[in-house]
A and B are shown apart, each in its own frame.
Chain A
């Protein structure tokens, strides 16, 4: 009986965690919603001292930095996975793979340090910028962080394609190029898709590294595609301002609402991932 009690209680409690997290975030950001309606979500101005809590600049910053990271990391990561799975000799392959697994575990704050003291000076001198703290810096750093994840998971997906498929393709004489595009990648696509979604989630929720390089200025880039300007992401805003906001104030509620937005986006991504996995 004690056993059953322990098992049921822990299952109940740990599956409730996510509901508790979402519930507490909603409850604590409620004062803001109550006072300002839902309009602040699409507001473009964030001035806590004037009670303006527009979410749009940080939201756009988050979307931009994640997009930039994916644009860089996805082609490179998948290419590295193809190289590893198809072209390298087995011994070299396992070494490279192990190194990549270790890279995937490097703490984000170390990337932050790298971003601040290696990437920013490089960007400033190479692109002749006033400050290296830009959306581009955040995107590059995030790309470096998610690359190992994309590579490792995509390699799993490519290697899971059965050997007989490769042999059949070879016997048909369709060449390496066509085998890659017509056989390997289409079959590995569900796995690569999941890798991409997981990497997106990680990039979106990354805090300390982004916070050190993004510049933390609450405005929408002008024009909107200018990624050489300082910006703000949802996570960097929370990281910068949480310590300053007084408990229970509107500012506090607004920052918790940023957290709620992040959590909602994460849940949406994981639903997308999960459904596709089940369908395959």
Chain B
């Protein structure tokens, strides 16, 4: 094979890679720009802080109530899941036998693969009907907590793995018990990275629609839920209902506006998590 032949083959291969890769990189970018282009006419401060009374099918005013509901659900879901995730990860590192460790890893890998709507179904059967919590904030929060649990556990485990063994061994040599090792060594060293995990879990909880559709949300009429057992409105389901039910271009532009706000919210959580992670590395 002469070198000219080789060069030609290289060029062809590179050409094919470029040909396939450019649409793969360009189309998502175009799509993202399209969302913001469509959302631009409605995006202003009044849109974000205004509330709608529900009478005009979301046409009239802002999305404050939806934004609030989404955030409330995400924060509650993380608040429920975080203690369990931390406890599980610490158990894995301290008390678990190798067999239990393998079992736990397998369980969480499986749990992570379960489609979110399946958790929604379980929530509907168990929380909404069996426990009679109804379509409510608490049902949705528990369902979302199940969705983000594997993410949080695996993230916490990865964080704990990164603590140098020397630290832990030095602690053990000094005769510290598990409690002191966790409280004095592990947590002070890695709390920033743990917080990163919580932020990522919040971003994930904010982007789920299917699991809360039957368990937590109504279309409109709620600004601030009265209790844990009253339903909420969320940005995710708001977009869904508007997209599905309406043909009015103005309503659709509100859906685009809500979508842009949601994307910005999730992306800024992602960026914040990245910054915190960098901070925790140093």
Which A residues form the contact surface with B (CB < 8 A)? 3-4, 6-11, 13-15, 17-18, 20-21, 24-25, 28, 75-77, 79-80, 82-84, 87, 96, 99-103, 105-110, 112-114, 116-118, 144, 147-148, 151, 175-178, 180, 198, 201, 204-208, 212, 235, 238-239, 242-243, 247, 255-256, 259, 262-263, 266-267, 269-271, 273-274
Q: Which residue of B lies closest to A261 (CB)?
A: B118
Query: Is B55 part of the binding interface, using a Cβ–Cβ cutoff of 8 Å?
Result: no
Seed contacts A113-B243, A144-B27; 9 additional CB < 8 Å A-B pairs: A11-B91, A14-B84, A17-B111, A105-B270, A106-B266, A107-B207, A107-B209, A112-B209, A212-B243
Contact call B259/A110, Cβ cutoff below 8 A? yes
Contact call A151/B124, Cβ cutoff below 8 A? no
Q: Which residue of A lies closest to B1 (CB)?
A: A175
Query: Is B12 part of the binding interface, using a Cβ–Cβ cutoff of 8 Å?
Result: yes
Q: How far, in Å, is A198 (CB) from chain B's closest CB?
A: 8
Contact call B23/A76, Cβ cutoff below 8 A? yes
Which of chain B's residues have a CB closer than 8 A to the CB of A175? 6-7, 9-10
Q: Which residue of B lies closest to A101 (CB)?
A: B270
Most chain B CB inside 10 Å of its own CB: which residue of A8, A110, A114, A144: A110
Contact call A10/B83, Cβ cutoff below 8 A? yes
- Kindly identify which residue among A7, A76, A103 contacts B91, using a CB–CB cutoff of 8 Å: A7
- Kindly identify which residue among B110, B126, B146, B266 contacts A267, using a CB–CB cutoff of 8 Å: B110
Which of chain B's residues have a CB closer than 8 A to the CB of A269? 113
Query: Is B117 part of the binding interface, using a Cβ–Cβ cutoff of 8 Å?
Result: yes
- Kindly identify which residue among B21, B92, B115, B146 contacts A235, using a CB–CB cutoff of 8 Å: B115
Contact call B25/A80, Cβ cutoff below 8 A? yes
Q: 9 nearest interchain CB pairs? A: A205-B115, A10-B87, A107-B207, A79-B20, A207-B210, A76-B24, A270-B113, A11-B91, A7-B91
Contact call A87/B14, Cβ cutoff below 8 A? yes
Q: Using a Cβ cutoff of 8 Å, how many contacts connect chains A and B? A: 244
Given A3-B179, A175-B10, do A79 and B16 touch, yes or no (CB 8 Å)? yes
Which of chain B's residues have a CB closer than 8 A to the CB of A14? 84-85, 87-88, 108, 149, 153
Which of chain B's residues have a CB closer than 8 A to the CB of A144? 27-28, 31
Contact call B28/A180, Cβ cutoff below 8 A? no
Kindly state the separation between the CA atoms of A216 and B262 in the bound complex, as whole angstroms: 27
- A–B Cβ pairs within 8 angstroms, 14 of them: A3-B178, A8-B91, A10-B85, A25-B121, A112-B240, A113-B255, A201-B113, A206-B115, A207-B209, A208-B213, A242-B121, A255-B121, A267-B110, A270-B110
Kindly state the separation between the CA atoms of A207 and B118 in the bound complex, as whole angstroms: 10
* Segment at the A interface, from B41-49, B99-107, B168-176, B223-231: B99-107
Kindly state the separation between the CA atoms of A243 and B135 in the bound complex, as whole angstroms: 12
Q: Which residue of A lies closest to B206 (CB)?
A: A107
Which of chain A's residues have a CB closer than 8 A to the CB of B255? 113
Which B residues form the contact surface with A (CB < 8 A)? 6-7, 9-10, 12-14, 16-21, 23-25, 27-29, 31-32, 34-35, 83-88, 90-92, 94-96, 103-119, 121-122, 124-126, 129, 146, 149, 153, 178-179, 182, 203-204, 206-210, 213-214, 236-237, 239-240, 243-244, 252, 255-256, 259, 262-263, 266-267, 270
Q: Which residue of B lies closest to A73 (CB)?
A: B24
Q: How far, in Å, is B21 (CB) from chain A's closest CB?
A: 4
Contact call A270/B27, Cβ cutoff below 8 A? no
Which of chain B's residues have a CB closer than 8 A to the CB of A110? 35, 239, 259, 262-263
Contact call B10/A113, Cβ cutoff below 8 A? no
Contact call A270/B112, Cβ cutoff below 8 A? yes
Given A15-B107, A17-B111, A80-B24, do A87 and B209 touch, yes or no (CB 8 Å)? no
Q: Which residue of B lies closest to A106 (CB)?
A: B263
Q: Is the interface of A mostly helix, strand, loop or mixed?
A: helix
Which of chain A's residues have a CB closer than 8 A to the CB of B153? 14
Q: Which residue of B lies closest to A205 (CB)?
A: B115
Contact call A83/B119, Cβ cutoff below 8 A? no
Which of chain A's residues have a CB closer than 8 A to the CB of B91? 7-8, 10-11
Contact call B32/A103, Cβ cutoff below 8 A? yes
Given A11-B92, A79-B21, A99-B29, do A204 and B115 touch, yes or no (CB 8 Å)? yes
Kindly state the separation between the CA atoms of A83 and B15 in the bound complex, as whole angstroms: 10
Kindly state the separation between the CA atoms of A267 and B266 in the bound complex, as whole angstroms: 28
Q: How far, in Å, is A142 (CB) from chain B's closest CB?
A: 13
Given A7-B91, A109-B236, A208-B240, do A274 and B104 touch, yes or no (CB 8 Å)? no
Which of chain B's residues have a CB closer than 8 A to the CB of A266? 110, 113-115, 118
Contact call B125/A24, Cβ cutoff below 8 A? yes
Which of chain B's residues have a CB closer than 8 A to the CB of A113? 239, 243, 255-256, 259
Given A177-B10, A256-B121, do A109 and B113 touch, yes or no (CB 8 Å)? no
